[in-house]
Amino acid sequence: MSVRIEAVSVGQGERSMKRGNPRGLYAFITRALGKEILVLGPSTAGKSKFTEYLRLGTLDPEGQREMTYHVRKTPAFTVGLGQEHGVTLKIRRAVDTPGQVGPVEHAALVGRRKPHAVIIVLDSSKSILMTTMWLHLFCDRLDTVLRRGFAAKRRLSEVMVLLNKRDKIDSTEFNQLKEEVAAVLRKHLEVVFGAEGVRAIPIMECISVQTEEGPVLIDRVVTDLMERLATR
Ligand SMILES: Nc1nc2c(ncn2[C@@H]2O[C@H](COP(=O)(O)OP(=O)(O)OP(=O)(O)O)[C@@H](O)[C@H]2O)c(=O)[nH]1
Ligand SMILES: [Mg+2]
């Protein structure tokens, strides 16, 4: 079987990334050994745009919207990291989910799919009350799901929260949202992850559409995620 990788490079220097599209035997190996990343969050938060960027390294302009009706899985892909892209991370699949099914079903998906990483995408442009309500419901059920589901808990090595649409809010609003999100995580997840584990959950700013500043924030998110997964 042939091994062919189509690649695209983004970023510069040490933190640059190179997406690969494995074929043949290498695709089989990537599926077998790679990580599953589950992307969750409320409707229109930017899950599909983030997932697309994760796999392809491309961003659409704001406003191009295609509602997700079903769970959608990407094909296997790889991400090369570091200088000369010396570390290659295998991603079995990234799984994009429809926001309309709600936070309780999203938590249940973690139990069913048993991903290695969960990315919670929140919409910074919505009211803090709406956002934290979604997160309360999600985390409350996730606590139950992980306490009952030993296999899901053991597999899940990374949880990350993205405050997406950062372009829509100022620094004060961002800091307030970040604090409230951290408080919700502490309230519900300290039993399953421990106080230190919850503190270690990154809450990162993100923009998942084209902007004049380029993909600085989303690149930081993807690099961080890949570096964390690479050490697991
Ligand atoms: N300004 C801005 N718009 C964004 C950002 N991310 C996504 N959008 C826009 O938000 C809308 C929804 O994005 P999607 O990625 O489709 O949202 P989703 O979470 O997949 O939504 P569902 O599939 O309905 O659950 C689109 O019009 C995007 O262009 C962002 O960071 N900034
Ligand atoms: Mg979507």
pLDDT, position 6? 43
H-only helix segments in the chain? 24-33, 47-56, 103-113, 128-148, 150-155, 171-199, 216-230
pLDDT, position 109? 98
pLDDT, position 4? 39
- Break the chain into its structural domains and give their ranges: 5-230
Please enumerate in sequence order all residues whose Cβ is within 8 A of that of 226, keeping only pairs 6 or more positions apart, or say none: 17, 79, 81, 89
pLDDT, position 12? 44
Find out if CATH 3.30.420.480 is the number for domain 5-230. no
Write out the H or E segment, with its range, that includes residue 205. Answer: strand 203-205
- Determine the residue of 125, 209, 220 to mutate for testing ligand 1's pocket, defined as the one with the most ligand atoms within 8 A of the Cβ atom: 209
pLDDT, position 15? 56
pLDDT, position 223? 93
C-alpha–C-alpha distance, residues 221 and 145, integer Å = 26
Residue ranges in the chain whose pLDDT is less than 70: 1-15, 84-85
Ligand nearest to the CA of 208: 1
Position of tokens 């035997």? 25
Q: How far, in Å, is the centroid of ligand 1 from the Cα of 96?
A: 12
pLDDT, position 65? 85
C-alpha–C-alpha distance, residues 36 and 49, integer Å = 17
Residue nearest to atom 2 of ligand 1 (CA): 165
Q: How far, in Å, is the centroid of ligand 1 from the Cα of 184?
A: 23
pLDDT, position 87? 83
